Structure 1
Amino acid sequence: MSSINYSNSNTNPSIILNKFFKLLLISGFIFYIIYILLFFNPYYNISTFFTKSSPKGPELATSSFSPTNISDIVFSIAGSTTTWWERTSYIESWWKPNITRGYVFFEKNPQEITPWPKYYPQFRISENTSKYKDYDKHLFRQAIRVTRLILETFNVENEGVRWYILADDDTIFFVNNLVDVLGKYDHNKYFYIGMNSECHASNYYHSFEMAFGGAGFALSYPLAKALVKNLDVCLKRYPNLYGSDHILQSCVADLGVSITQEKGFHQIDLHNDISGLLSAHPQSPLLSLHHLHEVDPIFPSLNRSESLNHLVKAAKIDESRLLQQTICYHKPKNWTFSISWGYSVHVYESILLPSILRKPLQTFTPWSKSAKPFFVFDTRFPSKNPCEAPHVFFFDSVERGDYVVMSYGRSKARGLPTCTAGGNHSADSMSKIYVLTPRRKHDLIGGKRECCDVVNIKQGMDATEIKLRDCLENEILPP
């Protein structure tokens, strides 16, 4: 057997070990230089160097789950057997049998109709609340019952739920818009989404941090679960609060959660003619309307039920644009057009700025005059000045072709002289306005208003055509 020759420089262990340490030192020096260059570079975040290729990085935090759809939402509707049959037209306008999920809760069995119609939500009888008799003198029995609806709904619907919507039986929802808006939020976190009242007194006497139940509000699943676990404790904490929505808001606050406001929820704590409000809707998708039985019919030529169905007709064409305000100008005549899509068009015989037109005309009165200012938003007083008073047109009919063509007809004669300051161009003869809309959906969420052009004024036919379009980059109105 021959012995190993350690004199060979290529196989001598000490030489190999020395080469290894030299290589290690050189590699360490190179990595050190790279680290110094990155660390002291003010334009480079070193943390992204190590995480940027990771599939679990923060850029995927909100895109790791599927988009929200209608099956992820459960509605909990507070009903009453004394008013339900007067309000069925409200629920019929938006409820989608076999698509929408949820229940209407009654204080007792509604025995007037058997069997229960399939095109209504399933009904349930609210649980007995007699255990609260010790402080019943403080809490209204109805408030206890309605507050507990989130618990009763959670107990029967908690699989595959992202959002719970609580509302009254006279609340009208625009479900497609609701899905789009809730899809902005991470349903795995605590969210309490709704809106205040339009009337200052209502907020003053209840809470400016409260989502009003008539308008409806949304609770994310984790928040609903936490509320259910602590609800009886919470009811005992607040025996002197008036309404269920105020009690729930207080319970939510105890969990460390504040309201997230969405302006598309509408309590409608108003009276009389709300056309001024609907003609200058906030730049937000329309989500709900409440108290329509307390105001004038929203279309003056129709009754309340017909008016609701007429508005829904426009919503079925394009819910994303419903009531969204678009403003454009016809400079040759110095006319201004303010369009509330699917509802109304106001024509002014002068150039009025968008900052003015976005303020609703105060055609309505407050729910209560016990606190001032009356409203929580800016308004304009109706004027008899012919340069400030609009010619008013309401949604009449709709046709589909290459464009969606909305027809608006004059409500009534304005009854004022022509605006001389605008060039003495009367719009009295105009009887029809046609608004041409692209068939694609308008992405209002996170975006801005659409723009429009007056493309044709037909003198002999007393009609005007307006075409909606995307606003140009850096476009300012009026041009």
Structure 2
Amino acid sequence: MSFCGLKLGAIKQNLTALSGGDWCRALAVAGLVLYAVCVLVSNPAGQSTAFLNSLIFRRHGRYLYTNTDITDLVFGIATSASTWKTRRNYIEGWWRPNITRGFVFFDVPPKEYLPWSSISPPYRVSENVSRFQEFNKHAMPFAIRMVRVIKETFLEAPKGVKWYVMADDDTVLFLDNLVEILSKYDHNEYYYIGCNSEAVGSNADHSFQMAFGGAGYALSYPLAKALARNLDECIKRYPNLYGSDHILQACISDLGVSLTLEPGFHQIDLHGDISGFLSAHPHSPIISLHHLDYTNPLYPAMNVFQSLKLFMNVSRVDSSRLLQQSICYQKKNNWTFSISWGYSALIYEDILPPSHLERPLQTFVPWRNNYRAPAFMFNTRYPTNNPCEAPHFFFLDSVEQKTGGYEIVTNYVRKWDRRLPACSKTGNHSADSLSRIRVISPAKRYDGGEGKRRECCDIVRIYGGSDITEIKLRSCMEDEIIA
């Protein structure tokens, strides 16, 4: 008799001392282990390895569950025939044809865009919601259609979906980071995952417990199923709520579920130059960006979509480090370097502590002009002409993988002169001569985020007689003090 032909009775004899519930759980786990061994014995080595790689179990409450991958997600995106011409550029920047699953939902049939592009998500036309008018005099009637995209996505989705991700048509998503974040949570439980607005006023007007829809949010399968069953009746209960995301939050709260905050979702309720915000990103993987029509292009001297293309290209090289901040010092000249990987590199002509540099430089303005202080959900630093506190700004120019594939090099170049004297209190060591910063990082995903430290960095060299500085990222040593 082969090993795989052994009966589970032999295992059962060793489990008789367990209580009924414990015995069942132990028997189930033993069965899975036996099945895995059978696959190893009876399949070619390559197939067995692939199978075992898929069986990565995590303990969460009373469940053992496998890792999430991109095929476990379905996306529902609300759009309209009037906005698709420009908004498709955002969606096609992150959508992966034949890999990602989901739909864009139009208000009317998109006849002017047929035949439909193969690089866009499949489209559907939303159900007519005029029947809601008799009980809902909503200030934004299209909000009803938008919130019902959740139900329509659930009804259209194939079987086996773990997560339903909702976003606007001008939302940019970073899929590998999204999958990594969702893998932390048990999709068998009720989860509503997203983030609130960067603007205090927006949260106060709607809800601090609401995931803003432009930033996007994720619903676990049981929660999406419960919402689909109850959504239309819930809409009737809240005729006075303004936005689709606020209606949704109320309906989810009715089901006894609260928001799980993930700071990588970004509504971007900010205007103007958001480089200060992106150069001091929260210590969490970036998951989304929204409202890029209302901000300056991400990189200087480009238009919105040129800069977005560069940003997405660098994210494909290493999305795990994108915007992650590393801080290091060149003590000889009293310089501080703050690297926002894949985006910017800042030099200060003084030794500034990490607690200071983690606060975004307020290069942006609030979403509304009539805001009440405090304006933002985070502390900021005001721009200054003090030469010891005003940074030299460098922005990403290129990214390359070095020969051998073990390292990635990102190059940052100065886009404008600082036009300030040197910092006199630290010895007048001006950084004006530097025009390029090379950052070398490992060619492997950065295991950052919750419970992890930022990466440390070293000034490898400042080339003598040259205008180039080279910096290398590395894991921090035990008990290492960055400053």
Normalised by the shorter chain, which TM-score bucket?
0.7 to 0.9
Give the direction of change, closer, same or farther, for the CA distance of 1:61–1:257 in structure 2 (3 Å limit).
closer
- Corresponding residue number in structure 2 for 1:176: 176
Give the direction of change, closer, same or farther, for the CA distance of 1:61–1:269 in structure 2 (3 Å limit).
closer
Residue identity in the other structure for 1:80: S
- Corresponding residue number in structure 2 for 1:137: 137
Q: SS of the residue aligned with 1:161?
A: coil
**In 1: Cα distance, 2:97 partner to 2:283 partner:** 30
Q: Which stretches of structure 1, 4 residues or more, deviate above 4 A after TM superposition?
A: 53-63
Give the direction of change, closer, same or farther, for the CA distance of 1:59–1:127 in structure 2 (3 Å limit).
closer
Q: SS of the residue aligned with 1:329?
A: strand
- Corresponding residue number in structure 2 for 1:32: none
Q: SS of the residue aligned with 2:424?
A: coil
**In 1: Cα distance, 2:419 partner to 2:89 partner:** 36
Question: Mapping of 1:344-423 within 5 angstroms?
Answer: 344-368=344-368, 369-401=370-402, 402-423=406-427
- Corresponding residue number in structure 1 for 2:448: 444
2:281 corresponds to 1:277? no
- Corresponding residue number in structure 2 for 1:429: 433
**In 2: Cα distance, 1:415 partner to 1:152 partner:** 55
**% of aligned pairs identical?**
56
Structure 2 stretches of 5 or more lacking a match?
Answer: 1-18, 30-56
Residue identity in the other structure for 1:399: E
Question: Mapping of 1:9-408 within 5 angstroms?
Answer: 54=26, 60-61=59-60, 64-138=64-138, 140-368=140-368, 369-401=370-402, 402-408=406-412
- Per-residue deviation, 1:113: 2.1
**In 1: Cα distance, 2:113 partner to 2:80 partner:** 14
- Per-residue deviation, 1:136: 3.6
CA offset digits 1:122-178 (Å, max 9, x no partner): 110000112112124235320110111111111111411010011100000000000
**In 2: Cα distance, 1:397 partner to 1:130 partner:** 51
Conserved? CA contact 1:139–1:239, under 8 Å? no
Q: SS of the residue aligned with 1:393?
A: strand
**In 1: Cα distance, 2:162 partner to 2:59 partner:** 19
**In 2: Cα distance, 1:152 partner to 1:131 partner:** 16
- Per-residue deviation, 1:403: 1.5
- Per-residue deviation, 1:441: 1.1
Conserved? CA contact 2:58–2:64, under 8 Å? no
**In 2: Cα distance, 1:261 partner to 1:56 partner:** 33
- Per-residue deviation, 1:459: 2.7
Give the direction of change, closer, same or farther, for the CA distance of 1:431–1:55 in structure 2 (3 Å limit).
farther
Residue identity in the other structure for 1:430: L
**In 1: Cα distance, 2:365 partner to 2:58 partner:** 48
Residue identity in the other structure for 2:446: H
Conserved? CA contact 2:58–2:66, under 8 Å? no
* Alignment counterpart, residue 458 of structure 1, candidates 460, 463, 469: 463
**In 1: Cα distance, 2:392 partner to 2:424 partner:** 16
Structure 1 stretches of 5 or more lacking a match?
Answer: 1-46
- Per-residue deviation, 1:420: 1.2
Residue identity in the other structure for 2:439: V
Backbone CA RMSD of aligned residues: 1.7
**In 2: Cα distance, 1:188 partner to 1:371 partner:** 41
Q: SS of the residue aligned with 2:427?
A: coil
Q: Report how many aligned residue pairs link the two structures.
A: 429
**In 1: Cα distance, 2:298 partner to 2:274 partner:** 7
CA offset digits 1:88-145 (Å, max 9, x no partner): 2101110000000100001001111221001100110000112112124235320110
